[in-house]
Chains A and B, each alone.
Chain A
């Protein structure tokens, strides 16, 4: 096994091109577990810790460019305004120590359906892009195209994740996650939800309840339809129990979970419906307040 320590992004890309089977490591919170337990013996480890730009974020207009290795702790502390859904999700990741090391790039690289970032990224809208690069160039991968299978993403062997581009929130966002414990939770299932008043759209994201993170497309369309038809974006009036109930059912229907050691498929579906109803209620209440206070 080799240990590669590029000092710059270009060196990292060159190293990845030369060693396409090298396993990138940044926070190490996934990679080291596999190494410690003999799950994985990559030909080389590609350490990205020395590339400081990966731990930087910036806001350009109404898009946050989030470096792949910005630790969750900093997302919570520095970005809960522009990225409230992701910040809430970040706050549910492992322990404080894990949050000090892990970042969104690792979640995307591992592409586990249980990764906590995914539902928040999906909910943040269709204009979320993963910035992937190789010596061949850079491409912006829409988040909806990124996850391709269980623990598989669409990256090429020579590509590395450099950043994620996420629109600055223009409405309330929420994130909920189920675990048997009250801390140190690997998601039994999770749900991200966002209101996007500017585009009159809503975003959803389901975690740990399908082979990949996925959005509940029909639930989004249903809700967008109701909001538009009833003029609720403008009025901010209550949604009513029926709409909330139906939204929950559609989210539940969008999942295709399995029974495993962390929970049953039935429970996951049930919990998703509950979380969908609750997060919709919370965000809509917040939105209603905003509308009323603006009026």
Chain B
């Protein structure tokens, strides 16, 4: 039973998060730079090009990479400061094994053999699927592919899933249903060619700052921007039209916009007749969905809905962007399809300035979701239950069909199985459910009941505290590989330094575990390029076809867009130029998306909508960014955003500590009274763990198709914190700013003039 051995504060004291501000040699001395490595940012799906300065096997600074075409040197603060991680005092440099007083350091042989023994024991007693694996898409394509193969062939388990399930799977599922392919349809360079850009549920300005350049380019050419968001985010502030939609009602809004498009004759009749299926049913499904019908549901005035429809309908070119705001719902797939319907109804796809894209949130959210570490998927975005797809992968891997597991459980279902005891062991890499799992108190209970947990990570994540074995892995800048940006461009990730101390690359750890599990024959890679070359063969003929992409090509061409079926193929920046989808019938598929309420809506006991999202200063579960002082100084902890009218009604003041309660848990954090949010809704960013996790409040309900949890809608109530709650919150907030002992010592030296 993996209950914590020590109070959380003890883990924080030993392993952090500590905040650190200093480059490897301090601010007062910068060594001569040995060489500069052109790579990409480890954070969001933009994968901005960046140059890392290296001296003595340490990253000592950064330089903008102005020649890389997507960002031309532009970065966000996370990208600028990411280099501070390589030498961070919290880095794990030895394998750790759980003991009576927390963890003890161990040698690799002992730690790896313990993992292998546990895998064998659990699988012998409970069957292969009782041992599961969770992965994440901050990993490179090579690692994502390797994790998929490792889980299927070395762990022999069907139960492998990944943190994209907590991110954007509703978009992937919607894309596959509509287009038969899961990728942004256009390169970002199409954005400036659009007359109107509809941004639904994406705080582009904070989550993808460098994409703002393209949106402003469009505005400079006269484009108009529509933003759909319950908050006036920085992109919402400058929008031509901001629709402050009530959380969980996007599909109703989009149905009403479609109704208006049809009523006003703004539909491309030829396109929907010749290039799509399902138009008649779709049109009939919105016949009564007038703007007046949608107004009370969405909270958006009917005239604004009509205005949005007019802007979209009358444009000649348009681009639709969406992100987690519409995807993280129990009807996330419907929300996505309701937006795609607007694109397809107007036939504005597959040409310059006419496009569509989900803005993938995680660093390799695009590539990572293509190559087989989803429970239902094989490399090349193949279907694990499709006999032909299985046969192709079995051929590449040299196995018989009965050696390849079938579809496993999705992320939240895996945690439910751990909770119920059906799963007894888990290897977790690149995922921190103690921040990111919905209904986090349930996830904690699942981990506490789990007989064996192995975590591979470079820092002691909040999840790793629950582990029996922690294996010190590598950062993005410590291993070679590729990732695929949110626009479908495959880019090269370069190793700038080697992992510190006894830490190893994630690749080494997976290969070593595979060897000790007796499958060395299936994992005979000389280097990561060989893994990529096998990925190319495995993806060949799939929708996400990388067959023609090579590492040298990527470097020469500053990235290659998939699909790229052969080495002579130029890659495919813009999909659907022939107005054919990737479905066997070549048509674009339209689906009715009848509005239904969210899983939990406010009632008398919990009268307020709670929604969650990101801050520009943090990335995902914050394991990395909560350790960088510059970022923590600017966003130390979560704040509850609330409209002044609601604050007034509740008798609450700005910066007062408030307790937010839902049916799952409670959270005490400071209040930020802002006029930039709907009066019926509060917002809490989700990057913090345990007692400061927004996910203590969220619901564990899933989209029936994508199995994505509903992070974006929960019912809550808010009151002033009790003195005890306030005291506890102050302690927790102080803990977020704990400085690394080395930094304290260095500053003391500087202050004393030494």
Query: Do A and B interact?
Result: no
